[in-house]
Structure 1
């Protein structure tokens, strides 16, 4: 699982202005992201100096799709100390690469800047379908699609229902999930007094990608210096507060407890204040016994899940053939293991 893995996706509406570059860099610095996908850069050439100006020194890996004159352009950048992107390919409106996190659970990322005209949008959806056929497996695509899926994603009734239908057809045919957007209904405004609002920026993922990242969350942030809201995609967003130490009474009955207690109940001899000394003793003992208890018992839930997975394999196998003597014995032992671990888990919960 990716640790604190976050992606920023943003249509910045041009990076030609030095003031805009500074604003983007400040915004990026306020987040902890590993990958940045910027659309509509309006730049024909991007070099190391410009990436440094816009994103800071951490993003030492990047590729880009040049703008056509002053239209379009995509910049995909990443922090090499956290992740790498390999096997990069370019299409008319997308940049795709294979993301290689530190845990090596690889997946495909496609960043999108969709076209404006009706005819180009039809070609663009064909282009996406072709790219998907060349990149099987876990897939995440995100960016400014310049189209919507449903009527409620726009605040007026000026809709291209044919394109909406084709977009939904693409989603169904390729079995991608449109991620729920937290906190906002729309991601783009035409910035007029009576604005047109729509959700044209989004992230979609394949089913297997979604299963690998069950804690992922998608948020729309402040549009800041653009008319598009940045999309902040966190792949491990579940809130996990630091677990408080709890002394388990059954530890008293485990082999080696007395020796562990002697090793745990120590502190720096230089601490002479009795209250600080007692505080240090308790802190050291808590840290020691937390690790000692995990070494003794391991992760009970994980062990139960592993045992049940093997039992299921044997259950399925015996529907089509007779289990060998060793398989039947192991299946029986695993059932006893599950019973014992479940009982222990209940004891701990009490």
Structure 2
């Protein structure tokens, strides 16, 4: 089974029964599969504490004991995720390698950063040591007790030298930060004139981000702690439906105008001209897509097939003379491959939105990360029901919104709506008498 959601929280004393109840309630409402808790302040992690704060389903866990009355980390996960492939316990972090059934194994590291500049330097070196051992997709989360910029704090009391060292550490580890939705700061000193700092973060490697491209990081209400809980949903962003792309080379191909004219004329007029226009555009889109598949086809597949046949002919030529037909085919395939390669690059350039990158194919991960960033900004991350249940999956939010508006507006039987344009003193017109959206000269 693949995990769907991770909870990360500096709980400030897991011995408190009240905090155990708050954790249990948050896990239940958010449907969390992996729990990462910092500052447990427990030198020995008891089974009863795990059962009380997380439930009987969290049978697997590892912990870093607290030193005296400070520190301590525990990471627990549901039984259905199975045992960890490997674990690692360091001075300031815990690392676990998960192996979901259908995904590549990946590492999770939970950290609790120390106080004091000298210990912070040791902590950053520990992260480098952990990464040297934990190869492959990797995410590191927790309370870092470090900031990356002046914007991470609401006053000017910060250590610029330490911020620079932390940024260099992140760059050395080739990590990118998962953006937090809805909150700018994650810690408060709870005073009337509070100090606000962003100390809790989630970083990931490019391999991990490609493994979970639809991840979403959001926060929850702070209950009994100075730090707010972070909820990392691994599949919470619904993949967008593929958009229609009008290729710039289509008008140069034979049969393009006929395909548009046939699709445009196939729609019959309705009582509403705007509805007719919408249906005509929809039919034209489907018609062009169908025409493109027949006329052009899948460029990448054709190019790979042409290269493979050309390669096999060249291999055969090493052992015998090619026949006249084989020589003709080889020459045709060479020209065809050049045409397809040029067409492939033309399509890539026309679809590229980042114009300052000339080699788009070598920056696929960057293109995808920009697209994911735009999608996360324009996204409803969560809904909370009247009974306090937090909904984060697309299906749950869709059902809740539909149910809400059905109860608010009610339902009515289907009926045909017509508009009498003469009563409204609006001149009528026939869409079929309109010209095509472009002329032959414009094509």
TM-score scaled to structure 2, two decimals?
Answer: 0.56
Alpha-carbon distance in 2 for matches of 1:236, 1:3: 10
Matches within 5 A, 1:29-40: 29-40=28-39
Alpha-carbon distance in 1 for matches of 2:173, 2:20: 36
How many residues align? The count is 270
Counterpart for residue 169 of structure 1: 168
TM-aligned CA distance change 1:326 to 1:148, over 3 Å: same
- Of 322, 325, 339, which aligns to 2:313? 325
Secondary structure of residue in 1 paired with 2:85: strand
Deviations 1:166-215 (A, max 9, x none): 10001111110011110000000011111110110000000111122111
TM-aligned CA distance change 1:311 to 1:234, over 3 Å: farther
Whether 1:111 aligns to 2:99 is no
Counterpart for residue 13 of structure 1: 12
The alignment's C-alpha RMSD in Å is 3.1
**Higher fraction of strand:** 1
Alpha-carbon distance in 2 for matches of 1:182, 1:171: 21
TM-aligned CA distance change 1:58 to 1:135, over 3 Å: same
- After superposing on structure 2, the runs of 4+ consecutive aligned residues of structure 1 that deviate more than 4 Å are 303-306, 308-312, 326-333
Secondary structure of residue in 1 paired with 2:109: strand
What displacement does 1:304 show? 5.5
TM-aligned CA distance change 1:304 to 1:222, over 3 Å: farther
Counterpart for residue 79 of structure 1: 78
What displacement does 1:157 show? 0.4
For the 8 Å contact 2:146–2:163, the answer to whether it is kept is yes
Secondary structure of residue in 2 paired with 1:324: helix
Alpha-carbon distance in 2 for matches of 1:31, 1:309: 47
Counterpart for residue 192 of structure 1: 191
What displacement does 1:84 show? 3.9
- Of 294, 301, 318, which aligns to 1:307? 301
TM-aligned CA distance change 1:63 to 1:326, over 3 Å: farther
Alpha-carbon distance in 2 for matches of 1:90, 1:216: 26
Alpha-carbon distance in 2 for matches of 1:90, 1:173: 22
For the 8 Å contact 1:215–1:235, the answer to whether it is kept is yes
Gaps in structure 1 of 5+ consecutive residues:
243-299, 336-350
Counterpart for residue 231 of structure 1: 230
Gaps in structure 2 of 5+ consecutive residues:
242-292, 316-329, 341-443
For the 8 Å contact 2:175–2:203, the answer to whether it is kept is yes
Counterpart for residue 136 of structure 2: 137
Alpha-carbon distance in 2 for matches of 1:309, 1:59: 50
Matches within 5 A, 1:178-327: 178-239=177-238, 307=301, 310=304, 314=307, 323-325=311-313
TM-score scaled to structure 1, two decimals?
Answer: 0.70
